[in-house]
Structure 1
Amino acid sequence: MKSKIKVGILFGGQSVEHEISILSAQSIYESIDKEKYDVVLIGIDKQGGWHFSDEQIFLEYNASRRLKSLTNKIDQQLALIPGRKVDFLYQLSTQEKTKPVDVVFPVLHGTNGEDGSIQGFLKLSGIPFVGAGILGSAIGMDKEVTKRLLRDADIPIPHYQVVRQVDSNRIDPLQIQAEFGLPLFIKPANLGSSVGISKVKVVDEIKPAIDIAFLYDQKILIEECILGREIECSVLGNEHPEASLPGEIKPNHEFYSYQAKYLDENGANLEVPAKLPDNLIKKIQEAALKVFQVLEIEGMARVDFFLQEDGKLLVNEVNTIPGFTQISMYPKLWEASGLSYKDLITRLIELAIERAERDQKLKTTYEEY
């Protein structure tokens, strides 16, 4: 009998999106094909400690009816041993051999999880992992770098300006108002889930919004406010990616904020698939695939657009580890496109293994020919 593949679901992390990561991990754990895969739950607490977990963490999470963090259990921490592949985790307290892992499914949204950090560690450990590699993850996380690459590829984006914390004293709110008009958006360059984002309506709000954004990053973006529909498209694949049907976000808040996404059950309406003509659906899918490839992404990503009244399509951002609950847009779009949540998880794991096998064929020793 063929042995099951051991999948490590990695969640939590040192990020403001820690709690959302737990929700995504729970959905994956409950839906993964357990006839094909044995699951190892690996949680990272907010202090950076790694621990083996079990499904009890999800029961406790549901019972609380609120977002909460993983507990820091110092006596149960794991040591990380790069280069050991399946036994790269070592139980410190018992000094016993740990549970083996064949492939890792990182569900670490945001900082230290979606930015190439974890991807680099797993790459050094020789362990296949789901989602974008080091470069694609780092590019996708940094909104400024993303915009620069898209601009150079002639892909339309909103007008923006980057401000670094070292230059924050030189900011002139009146100049910003003159350049961008009002309202405008101010956001951290490296973050997700709309954390630290402010919609500024009057000039006196500019400086406080900048201060809030700098709480989360050393680099922030000032962006024009685009009037239009918020359209999202899911992409899946390695060398030959595919795009899902697009969906539409209809926020009931001022914008699609953290509160609208996670804390308010009526924060937004998701229209899946979006009501769009066939020619526009094709245009969005082609644009999503181009963005995916220009940004050197593999595995998966959700590409977010603004669709203006005149039909012009602007890229807002990409998410290389998008929300992955049963009601999150990324899997819902694939479900609408004919790929179930369970089969989507399977396909992502297959893509991770395929990429690792492809990369293993590269030589690491120089030979003269």
Structure 2
Amino acid sequence: MSEHSKDQHKPRVAVVFGGRSGEHAISCVTAANVLQVIDRDKYDVVPVGISTTGHWVLENGDPERLAITDGRLPEVDITAAPVLFGTNRELIVSEPGSVPSTLGEVDVVFPLLHGPFGEDGTLQGLLEMSDMRYVGAGVLASAVGMDKHYMKVVFQAAGLEVTPFVVIRDRDWRRDPETCRKAVDALGYPVFVKPSRGGSSLGVSKVNDLDELDDAVEAARLHDPKVIVEASANDPREIEVGVLGGLDDTDPIASVCGEVVVSGGGHDFYDFETKYLPEGEEYTALSVPADLPEDVTAEIRAKALTAFDAIEAEGLARVDFFYDADGKIIINEINTMPGFTPTSMFPRLWSASGKDYPTVVDHLLTLATSRPTGLR
């Protein structure tokens, strides 16, 4: 049997990355790492990039080109051949002036997009309409997990404690900013001002008094016209937990807890630079497992599973908590497609829980290929 014939019997995985959001570069870095560890003896892998303008192309998936090097953020190669999904789940290469050719049927899509227009249910809806299997959360969970406002509403309904918050919609800020300021003032300072539908800490500011608020709101509005302002927890420790869907219809499982500690360099919270840029490692410590009492660890892990089920997540998630000076466990957010970069917490959590990076990727693909399409 030829190598080509063998490949036809492997499940074909389309690794999709990039996208239109401000997290385009981080998606590329995530893809670089996933592409390196997928078992090519088990899967036929096709890298598909989405440019910042929304064009889908057949990428070469070179991990070195998709990495952050010398401060340069990677992006999808817009000059690559355009691709689209045709009927029967086929991936079609369609270069201008040439006859379209098919790469064959795609068995599962691994969508590694972060932020709006990819992680928020939009891509998931497209894949559902196309009857495509894919890794991760469905439409509803992706949408709720992306919008910090509705995420908190769902968490509160599930009995999880959240920090007090104020939502500033576009029309609120344009028509009556003074009422918005008064609502935020009632929270007490400091507060955190965030794009409601964003990630990677882009557009996030810590605000210490009313004089700083307007600039912070405008910075967040560069990423999302809907802004959320959150009260600060009392001297909190930031604790994170990974969740994976269970195989063979078993319950989801939670990883060990990890802790993020940021200090120095003018960084007083876990911002974009400390998360992803090499210089940020100097000011960031990721402690895995976190040094917590056993009963606190058990409670946080249980609450992570509650959060996962509350939004009806599937596949994977990273759930972030505050453990404050009063001993309260406060949920911060859930991320339905956490970063897989070398410095990301999610793979570290699972490595410390006995599942290395390739094992986690294979687990997710196994879940996706065994999951039925359509309503479930």
TM-score (normalised: structure 2): 0.90
Residue 68 (structure 1) shift: 2.7
Matched, 1:175 2:151: no
Q: Which amino acid aligns with 2:342?
A: Q
Q: How big is each residue's C-alpha offset from its partner over 1:252-295, in whole Å with a ceiling of 9 and x where there is no partner? A: 21111111111223241100111112111110110000000011
What's the secondary structure of 2:29's corresponding residue? helix
Of residues 87-96 and 303-312 in structure 1, the stretch that sits farther from structure 2 once superposed is 87-96
> Counterpart in 2 of 1:115?
120
Query: Of residues 276, 280, 291 in structure 2, which corresponds to 1:262?
Result: 276
> Counterpart in 2 of 1:164?
169
- Structure 1 residues 76 and 210: alpha-carbon distance in aligned structure 2, compared to 1, 3 A threshold: same
Distance 2:354 2:307 in 1: 23
> Counterpart in 2 of 1:324?
340
> Counterpart in 1 of 2:209?
202
**8 Å Cα contact 2:32-2:62 kept in structure 1:** no
Matched, 1:66 2:72: yes
Distance 2:14 2:187 in 1: 45
Matched, 1:247 2:258: yes
Residue 76 (structure 1) shift: 2.1
> Counterpart in 1 of 2:241?
233
Residue 4 (structure 1) shift: 1.8
Q: Which amino acid aligns with 1:91?
A: S
Distance 1:56 1:341 in 2: 19
Of residues 57-66 and 242-251 in structure 1, the stretch that sits farther from structure 2 once superposed is 57-66
What's the secondary structure of 2:57's corresponding residue? strand
**8 Å Cα contact 2:260-2:284 kept in structure 1:** yes
Distance 1:100 1:282 in 2: 43
Q: Which runs of 5+ in 1 are unaligned?
A: 363-369
Q: Which amino acid aligns with 1:214?
A: R
Matched, 1:46 2:52: yes
Distance 2:144 2:69 in 1: 37
> Counterpart in 1 of 2:223?
216
What's the secondary structure of 2:142's corresponding residue? helix
Residue 203 (structure 1) shift: 1.4
What's the secondary structure of 1:11's corresponding residue? strand
Residue 331 (structure 1) shift: 1.2
**8 Å Cα contact 1:114-1:137 kept in structure 2:** yes
Distance 2:170 2:15 in 1: 35
Query: Of residues 321, 336, 356 in structure 2, which corresponds to 1:305?
Result: 321
Residue 61 (structure 1) shift: 4.5
Q: Which amino acid aligns with 1:170?
A: D
Question: How many positions carry a matched residue from both structures?
Answer: 357
Residue 344 (structure 1) shift: 0.4
What's the secondary structure of 2:371's corresponding residue? helix
Distance 1:267 1:106 in 2: 31
Distance 2:130 2:64 in 1: 28
Distance 1:349 1:21 in 2: 18
> Counterpart in 2 of 1:101?
106
Distance 1:49 1:25 in 2: 17
Distance 1:336 1:349 in 2: 21
**8 Å Cα contact 1:128-1:352 kept in structure 2:** yes
Distance 1:60 1:315 in 2: 33
Of residues 57-66 and 103-112 in structure 1, the stretch that sits farther from structure 2 once superposed is 57-66
Distance 1:201 1:352 in 2: 44
Query: Of residues 2, 5, 11 in structure 1, which corresponds to 2:11?
Result: 5
Q: Which runs of 5+ in 2 are unaligned?
A: none
Residue 178 (structure 1) shift: 3.6
TM-score (normalised: structure 1): 0.91
